[in-house]
Amino acid sequence: MAVTVVGSVAFDSIETPAGRRERCLGGAATYFSLSASYFTDVRVIAVVGEDFGKPQEEVFQARNIDTRGIEHTAGKSFFWEGSYLDNLNEAKTQITELNVFAAFNPKIPDAYRDSEFLFLANIDPVLQRRVREAMPQAKLVAGDTMNYWIKGHRTALLEVLKGLDILLINDTETKMLAGNNNLVQAARAVMALGPKALVVKHGEYGATLFHGANPKGASAERSFRAPAMPLEEVVDPTGAGDSFAGGFFGYLASQPEQSPAVFRRAMFYGCVMGSFACERFGTERLQELTRSEIDNRFNLFRELTHLD
């Protein structure tokens, strides 16, 4: 089944211990789309400026991503500049220029309206809600958010959470959203706000899935932990979380049903795609993967964690 994603398509200037890149293609919706495209059809809703041209368009085309929902307007695309020189696990933002993104009003092509899988990447929760309401046919809705919205736009965010099947955020965001420093207690509190499942991303330590009653109702609360792979070299962690989300949700959408076993495999695919994203600058690695490279790494992750 096709996945529709709404989020940012941007240009990023990135500095890491491995080097520096100017204005490479970035944005949450970009990383998500490229990653999910290895599993299922992907449709993007975003806005870009005049600096988004043929070379950028071709990155999406090469992966057969539907870009009819990318609106082109006068002005410049969203621009972000960040550095990981001090800490590879956390970007230090140097510049954020919203540009055309400041007036983003998502427009949903008619051709997208049969999407049963919807991903609301990290944008203003008011926009997330608007897209969700405009796509009532979506049967599985997942989303991301960040500390900025949790701190300053809580009311709007709580409205989004009510309608989410799956929320994907990191440790700090989970604890901040719940106001509780214990991850298990915080996860429970977050799930009480709406999401039926919560994926907490731990960066280099992988991710944990918390979910409520499983389909058989056997247990009130279950969790599943997928590992990140110890990487020889982390070139650029930008987009790793969005690539996780793309692998996770893209795999879910590719399966005939979303059973607990499928969720577990989706967690592994999420970690696999996140690990690939870190191996090169920007989207470089995600543009040129093969499904067999992905499945080989999936099997490595299995070996890394399984007893037998």
* CA angle centred on 128, ends 64 and 11, rounded to 5°: 55
Q: Would you state the torsion angle of the CA atoms of residues 180, 132, 282, 199, taken in this order, to the nearest 10 degrees?
A: 30
- Give whichever of 134 and 304 is closer to a copy of itself, judged by the CB atom: 304
Shortest separation between residue 227's beta carbon and a copy of itself, angstroms: 5
Which DSSP helix (H) or strand (E) runs through 54? Answer: helix 54-61
Shortest separation between residue 284's beta carbon and a copy of itself, angstroms: 19
Site for a copy of itself in 91-150 (CB under 8 A): none
* Length of the chain measured in residues: 308
Site for a copy of itself in 286-305 (CB under 8 A): 302, 304-305
Going from the C-alpha of 158 to that of each of 118, 151, 191, the distances in angstroms are: 18, 12, 11
Which pair of structure tokens corresponds to residue 305?
Answer: 């964690």
What would the x/- binding string for a copy of itself be over residues 63 to 102, using CB under 8 A?
Answer: -------------------------x--------------
Which of 153, 196, 264, 280 contacts a copy of itself by CB under 8 A? Answer: 264
Which of 196, 202, 214, 280 contacts a copy of itself by CB under 8 A? Answer: 202
Number of residues that bind a copy of itself (CB under 8 A): 33
Rounded distance, CA 98 to CA 102, Å? 5
- Give whichever of 75 and 260 is closer to a copy of itself, judged by the CB atom: 260
Shortest separation between residue 173's beta carbon and a copy of itself, angstroms: 16
- Ordered DSSP codes for 149-189: HHHH-HHHHHHHHHT-SEEEEEHHHHHHHHT-SSHHHHHHH
Which of 204, 279, 284, 293 contacts a copy of itself by CB under 8 A? Answer: 204
Q: Is 255 in the site for a copy of itself (CB under 8 A)?
A: no
- C-beta separation of 262 from 233 below 8 A: no
From the list 93-101, 119-127, 148-156, 221-229, the region that binds a copy of itself by CB under 8 A is: 221-229
- Other beta carbons within 10 angstroms of residue 261's beta carbon come to 10
Rounded distance, CA 69 to CA 259, Å? 30
Q: Which residues bind a copy of itself (CB under 8 A)?
A: 88, 181-185, 187, 202, 204-206, 208, 210, 223-227, 230-234, 261, 264-265, 268, 302, 304-308
